[in-house]
Amino acid sequence: MLEKIQTENIQKGMYIVCSANNYPTLSPQIANNYVTTKDVILKLLHCDIKEVLIDSYKSSIRESIQQTLYSEEILFAREAYTQLIQLVQNIFKTVEKGRDIDIDDYKHKVTPLLGSIERNSNAAVSLTILHQSDQYRFTHSLNTAILSAVLGRFLGHPDESLKELILSAMLMNIGEIWISDNILDKRGNLTQKEFSIIKQHPELACEYLNTQNDIPQKITKAIYSHHERDDGSGYPEGSSRNKIPKFARIISICDTYDAMTSKRPYKEAMTPNMAIKHLYSMKDSSFHTAYLENFIKCIGIYPTGSFIKLSDGRYGVVMKNIPLAPLLPEIKVVFDSRLRAVSPEYIDLLQSSNENAGSNLEIIECIHPKTFKLELNRFLW
């Protein structure tokens, strides 16, 4: 809920959206962010901004958390990712053997990931691009969980809700355990019968979860409906719009995006920006428009970890996204125009755009690293 508040009454922990009249425009460091220091308040007063709009819901649910640099946070994010891949594998083994799952234990184990996302979500998002492996079932579940948590946090969900959202995504495909790998990994087009079998996996997952104790309804409903679409074209029930649970709406976007950007036996991976473009084309049909637009804001049109070419011919890696300027992220230049390694140079495209009106440096292409046989990991820290 948006509230107008006088600048002099701002307190640490409040979530500032924009200036009350949207003029003067707030800097990207202040707009759509939490107030972490008194310096923010002083900057607003110095700019003669008398009133701002705050999101009272976000302000009330989350204390201010000190943000870290990408180079610092990536170490924690990688450790959390490694631990949770193991957790996802163990969950699938547990379900396959028909044993009881422990939601409370899983909530405890996802806490480090949630902390990392709170401190610097760009680090965790980059891992969803960089961590591609033959174990698609596990990496896809975890990548979807990370992206869902980032979007859920951006939408203002409290920590307990985010943990359940993460677990919903991790568990969304456990129903595939009862479907033949010959169908799941088929290289050619699926027959109508094969596709009808694939479409059973949400129901199969919920049949299993319903035999367990203390599974929150939010989780089972999200898993059951994560393939529903806003226009009613999804499955298993063809539900539409407000009949689709909020968690399912979030997961459906993140599930589709990660599937598009992942290499499979039967298809090549899309570049992140092409996947975003494809998703956006479905904003008035398959996906909730506001949720999809917020997804693009929080991960960017060029998500962290994307390999890009600049208008001056140089190549770099996206290091940080700015929600208010998704086309103008922060870049780390690593190659010259002839793909020769250079001393890294950090460029804030938004700042460059503001300082050099008329001669802006911009991204002209997003490139899959395999095109040049690159390992991007070494450029990100």
> Do residues 98 and 48 share a domain?
no
Same domain, 287 and 343: no
Residues 133 and 33 both lie in one domain: no
Residue 297 confidence (pLDDT): 87
56, 124: one domain: no
Residues 316 and 206 in one domain: no
The chain-wide mean pLDDT, for the chain, equals: 88
The residue-averaged pLDDT of 109-121 equals: 95
204 and 323 together in one domain: no
Full residue range of the structural domain in which residue 340 is found: 307-379
Model confidence at 58: pLDDT above 80: no
Read off the pLDDT of residues 309-320 as tens digits, 9 standing for 90 and up: 999 999 999 999
* Domain termination site, one of 16, 43, 61: 61
Same domain, 229 and 333: no
With 60 as the cut, is the pLDDT of residue 62 above it?
A: no
Number of folded domains in the chain? 3
Q: Is the pLDDT of residue 358 over 60?
A: no
Give per-residue pLDDT as tens, 79-104: 999 999 999 999 999 999 999 999 99
If asked whether residues 228 and 355 sit together in one domain, one would say no
Each residue of 231-270: pLDDT tens digit?
Answer: 999 999 999 999 999 999 999 999 999 999 998 877 888 9
> 218 or 19, which is more confident?
218
pLDDT band at 61 (very low <50, low <70, confident <90, very high): very low
Of the three residues 264, 299, 334, the one that is the final residue of a domain is: 299
Residue 132 has pLDDT above 80, yes or no: no
As a whole number, mean pLDDT of residues 149-155 equals 91
Q: Answer yes or no: do 184 and 288 share one domain.
A: yes
Please report, for the domain that includes residue 229, its CATH number: 1.10.3210.10
- Which among 40, 61, 82 is the end of a domain? 61
* For residues 187-207, average pLDDT: 95
The pLDDT value recorded for residue 7 is: 78
288 and 218 housed in the same domain: yes
Residues 158 and 276 both lie in one domain: yes
Same domain, 349 and 240: no
Chain position carrying tokens 């640490």: 12
Q: Are 77 and 44 in contact (CB under 8 A)?
A: no
